[in-house]
Structure 1
């Protein structure tokens, strides 16, 4: 796959496709096949599979081969060389619950932090064959619909907005009322979307994603995609999303300001 239109200003952008190819080759033999699921939590359910682990192993091997001076932070195999200026932030299967139930709404998240700031990212969905990428200055799509640049759509009013969240169960007792008030005023809300929601905002098919309890590997790859398409990603207080936490992503900065006014009341 190659990037459409103008090339990315980031020289590491082509490496995203190499990492996605390696992860896809490791993950896809297990999708909708028989595999065991391990629960990472003693209380609750946080599933992991051999596909998650193999996907990250494949990406880490490529990074260490081609860029041994870079750091890596991955969901499944931890951290190495985090003091490096460039750190890859990996979630081989974002949406493992979707993966284990055969739904194609999971994605491989490949992000890069440059001096702590999300600077490059891709969400790859190998079953559907879609890749959404961004470098903070532009964002692009490759897949069954061809190759094209991504642009968010204008939406300055909550009553006209389509909101996403993976599930309202993400929110604590203090967070949930703020989300409920926004959902009640929004035109439409969709659940169960994981990383795909952020890409749909970048592509102009939705307007905002509101989530909580995210880790860095859940969001770093998605920030340059949203920002490159013209959107905004922050914490609920308007801070940097680089470490995860309470996250809101909007396609229109005007809508983002509206959401922050409500969400900041329930922020940590």
Structure 2
């Protein structure tokens, strides 16, 4: 698996094209959800693909969902690239790449917790321009693009908007797990930041980012992410009015160290605390 997404001249998509690709992303999420739902809270085998890197669970649901999405992409847009967690990268000829994480939060999935989701991003050669986080068990689908950010449920559509937060002292911080951070300067910077916020909570994976976009928390700090862990979440958070970068304020679509905040003031203060890490 390449460590970064492929670089090319950005593809300029018209509103009509982006609308069509958004509809297609919904179809991808439907296909993935249909493959996943029969396996959630069912007894199933769990494989460990981590090896010496540590425990990294994967199930038939992960593989089946990515298979379903890849089949649909191949049938509908065979000239598009794919960058998936389970089956790797396939180059396309258009400069457009679908970035897929069939189940972000597999640890939550195998323990019956609904804090996981399917991540789907459309990458234009420079940045993600469309993002979907689908939670097929709860029936929640978060979508973001230049058209805006919204939560789609059986009841309808609701616009997403981050909430104001004046500073770190008022902020609620989420991170998937403290073991994400490398011992030494990285972990020390995270621990110091936690002492400045009102409350720190762990878990959530992709679901926490969507709760930030929906205005229920203020700050997310993570490290060691892959492109498929974060690409889909960037358009959702930015379209909801939030900010998501690496720890130095640069782009984070290739993963690594990620900082997301709803309010620009909190983002700036968190950057000041984390940018010291080389």
Shorter-chain TM band: over 0.9
Large movers: runs of 4+ above 6 Å? none
Query: 1:142 aligns to what SS in structure 2?
Result: strand
Equivalences, count: 261
After TM superposition, list the pairs within 5 Å mapping 1:1-268 onto structure 2: 10-11=18-19, 12-43=21-52, 44-81=54-91, 84-143=94-153, 146-173=156-183, 174-267=185-278
Structure 1 stretch 51-60 or stretch 133-142: which is displaced more?
133-142
What residue number does 1:4 align with? none
Whole-angstrom CA distance in 2 between matches of 1:177 and 1:109: 30
Please identify, of 81-90 and 52-61, the stretch whose mean Cα deviation from structure 2 is larger: 81-90
Shift of 1:198: 0.5
5+ residue gaps, structure 2: 1-14
Change (3 A) 1:8 1:129: farther
**Does structure 2 retain, via aligned residues, the 8 Å contact 1:136–1:225?**
no
Structure 1 residue 8 displacement after superposition: 9.0
Q: Which moved more, 1:49-58 or 1:63-72?
A: 63-72
**Structure 1 residues 144 and 168 mapped into 2: Cα distance closer, same or farther (>3 Å)?**
farther
Instruction: Please name the residue that 1:3 is paired with.
Output: none
Secondary structure, in 3 states, of the residue corresponding to 2:138? coil
* 2-structure distance, mates of 1:240, 1:50: 33
Give the CA deviation at 1:176.
Answer: 1.1
Deviation at 1:145, TM superposition (A): 5.9
C-alpha change, 1:9 and 1:162, in structure 2 (3 Å) is farther
- CA distance in 2 between counterparts of 1:86 and 1:9 reads 12
Q: Counterparts of 1:9 and 1:59 in 2: how far apart (Å)? A: 19
CA contact (8 A) 1:151 1:229 kept: yes
Once the 2 structures are TM-superposed, how far is the Cα of residue 136 of structure 1 from its aligned partner?
Answer: 4.1
What TM-score results when the alignment is normalised by the length of structure 1? 0.94
C-alpha contact (below 8 Å) 1:138/1:228 kept by paired residues: yes
Q: Structure 1 unaligned runs (5+)?
A: 1-6
Shift of 1:69: 1.2
Provide the residue aligned with 2:12 in structure 1: none
**Alpha carbons of structure 1 residues 103 and 114: separation in structure 2 relative to 1, 3 Å:** same
Q: Deviations over 1:151-171 (max 9, x none)?
A: 011112000001110011100
CA distance, structure 2, for counterparts of residue 8 and residue 152 of structure 1: 27
